[in-house]
Homo-oligomer: A and B are copies of this chain.
Amino acid sequence: MPVQLDSYLEGSWQSGEGSARPLINPATEQEVASIRSVTSSLAGAVRWGRELGGANLRKLSFAERGALLKTMAKVLHEAREQLIEVAVQNGGNTRKDAKFDIDGGIAVLAHYAYLAKGLGEQPWVVEDEAMEVFRSSKIRAEHVLVPRQGVAIHINAFNFPAWGMLGKAAVSLLAGMPVISKPATSTAWLAHRIFALLLEAQCFPEASFQLLMGSAGDLLDQVGPQDVIAFTGSQGVGTTIKTHARVIATGARVNLEADSLNAVVIGPDVESGTELFDLVIRDLITEMTQKAGQKCTATRRVLVPEALLEDVRERLFAGLTEIAGRTGEPSNKDVRMGPLTSQDQLDDARAGIASLSQDAEIVHGDPQRSGGFVGVEPGTGYFLEPIVLQATAAKAMDPTAAFHQHEVFAPVTTLLPYDGELASAATIIGFGSGSLVTTVYSDDRGWLAGAVAEIGPYLGRLVVANEKFANASMSPGCVFPVANHGGPGRAGGGAELGGMHGLALYMQRVAIQGGASQLARLLGGK
C-alpha cells in the first residue's frame, strides 16, 4: 500500500490539495508512494521560516549549530538500513549506490559539524586580517561573514535525494539560515524519510527546516532580498529561476548547478600495464555506471591519446560488458547497475544517444536493449545498458559537435581521440562551456601544472592522478565536502561546499571599517 508523503510547513504536516502524483519503483514500475502538491500560497511558510526559523537559528552559536549537525549525522547513521531500503525501492539504486548517496549526505553533516568547532562564539566569521585603508591610517578594514536574514530555498535534483538535501541543508543551517527544501518528486521518498527522522529526533530549532513536496507552487513569488535560492537540476529550470520576475526585482541570491559535460583527460605519457592505466579504466567504469550514470559529475567525454585508444577500448568494453550482464533489479545481490529513475529519463537518454550518434559512432552497447536484465520481467523497468560512442579526432575539435553540447544523463560516454597536446585538451574541454569536474591522468608534472592553468578555468574541480597515488585516488564523481562543487558557464556558475568557502553562499560579506584597536576588540578575529 503506497504511502502518501506530506509536506512539513509552518510546524505541521500538510497533505496538499493537488492531484496525487505516484512515485514509482523504476525496476518494477510499481507505485511505492504518492505526493499531493500544496496549491495554497507558500507566503506563510516563507515568512515562518525567515522570521521564526532565522531568529531561532541565529540565537545559537556556530558551535551549537554544528552540534545539531552532528546529531543529525548520528540519527541518520543509525537509520541507515531503512534509508538504503527506500533508496533501492524508489531510486532504483543498488545498495552500493544508495550508500553513496546516503553516506555522502552524512559526511557533509559531519564535516560541517567539525568545521563549526573552529568558528568561535561570535555571530560572524572573520575572513581576513584588518588592513590599513591607506598607508599609515589609523583606520582599518576587515571582512566578516554574517548570516543573511532570509530563508534558503533548496530545490534539489532527483539523482541524490539524500546528499542533495543534506549537503545544502548542512551548510545553510551552520551558516545560520533556515531552510525550505524541495526534493525532486520522482525520488522524493528518501528525502521525506530523512526529514521525518530529523524532525522526530528534534535535530533542528522550530521553523528552521521545512519540507515542500511536489510542485514549488508560488515559492519564488515570495522571495526577498535576503533570501538564497540554491538549485540543482536542468539548465531549463535554472533559467526559469534566474529570470523569475521576483528574483530579479529583489536581487535574491541564486546559486545554480546545472548541466555539465565533464571530461577526463588521459595524458600522453600514460601506458597500459601501469597502475595509472588501471585507475583510468576503473574510474571510467565507475563514472559511467555508478547510479546508472545519473550523476552531475559523471564522465561524459573521454580524451584519449590516439596511440592508447585500442587499449582503452579493450579494457573498458570488457568491464562494461560484465556490468551489462549484471544490470537489473537493484535489490538483487548479483546486480551491479540498476535502472534509470523514470520512463522520462529513459526516453531522454535514448533521444540523447541518437543526437550524439550524429557526430560519433556507437562502439559499445545497445541503447534499445529491453530484455535480459537480472531479476526483471522482460519489458519491465527503465533499464539502459552502458553505451560508449567514439568520435574522430577531427570531430572532437568541432565545437558544435553534439557531445560538446548535449548531456545524456545515463551510463553513456563518448571517446574523443586527441593528439596528446595540452592545448588541444584545454580547447576540447572548453567546448563544453564550463563543467563541474575533470580528471587529468599523468606523471608529467609540467603537464599537470599546465592543466591547472589552462583547463582549470573551465572547471569547479580538477582531479590530478598519477602513478604514485593511483591506488588512493578517488574517481571524479565523488564530491567531498572539503572541495568546491559547481562550475562556470553551462554548469551554472555556482559554488557549493568547499569547506569554509561553502558558508559564503548563505552569508553576507561585510567590510567592517573602523579604528585599529576598535576593530580588534570588536571583531576578535584572526
Contacts and interface: CB of A to CB of B under 8 A. Distances in A.
Contacts of A56: none
A205 interface: no
Interface stretch (A67-75, A214-222, A370-378, A490-498): A490-498
A466 B518 contact: yes
Given A131-B499, A511-B460, A483 B242 contact: no
B453 A512 contact: no
Interface stretch (A155-163, A410-418, A472-480): A472-480
- The 9 lowest CB-CB distance pairs between A and B, nearest first, are A225-B489, A469-B515, A483-B511, A141-B483, A464-B514, A484-B511, A146-B456, A251-B489, A133-B480
A522 interface: yes
Interface stretch (A16-24, A360-368, A444-452): A444-452
Interface of A: 58, 107, 122-124, 127-128, 131-134, 137-139, 141, 143-144, 146-149, 224-226, 239, 242-243, 248-253, 258, 430, 433-434, 445, 448-449, 452-453, 456-466, 468-469, 472-474, 480, 482-484, 488-493, 495, 498-501, 508-515, 517-519, 521-523
A333 B20 CA distance: 77
Contact of A449 (B434, B468, B492, B522): B522
Contacts of A134: 107, 480
A131 B482 contact: yes
Contact of A482 (B107, B141, B510): B141
B133 A483 contact: yes
A429 to B, nearest CB: 11
A267 to B, nearest CB: 13
Nearest to A147: B457
A4 to B, nearest CB: 37
Contact of A511 (B107, B453, B461): B461
B515 A253 contact: no
B464 A513 contact: yes
B469 A251 contact: no
B513 A474 contact: yes
Nearest to A253: B493
A460 B145 CA distance: 10
Contacts of A489: 224-226, 250-252
A270 to B, nearest CB: 15
Contacts of A521: 445
A517 to B, nearest CB: 8
Contact of A456 (B252, B482, B508): B508
A513 B462 contact: yes
A464 B139 CA distance: 10
Contacts of A133: 474, 480, 482-483
22 contacts: A123-B453, A124-B456, A131-B482, A137-B474, A139-B469, A139-B473, A143-B483, A143-B484, A144-B452, A146-B453, A226-B430, A251-B433, A448-B522, A452-B523, A456-B508, A459-B508, A460-B509, A462-B510, A464-B518, A464-B519, A466-B518, A483-B511
Contact of A472 (B137, B460, B462): B137
A469 B510 contact: no
Nearest to A433: B225
Contacts of A466: 514-515, 518
A490 B225 contact: yes
A434 B225 contact: yes
A284 B106 CA distance: 52
A147 B144 CA distance: 25
A430 B225 CA distance: 9
A227 B79 CA distance: 46
Contacts of A515: 466, 468-469, 472-473
A292 B300 CA distance: 57
A452 B512 contact: yes
A498 B482 CA distance: 25
B468 A518 contact: yes
Nearest to A107: B134
A150 B523 CA distance: 38
A341 B143 CA distance: 34
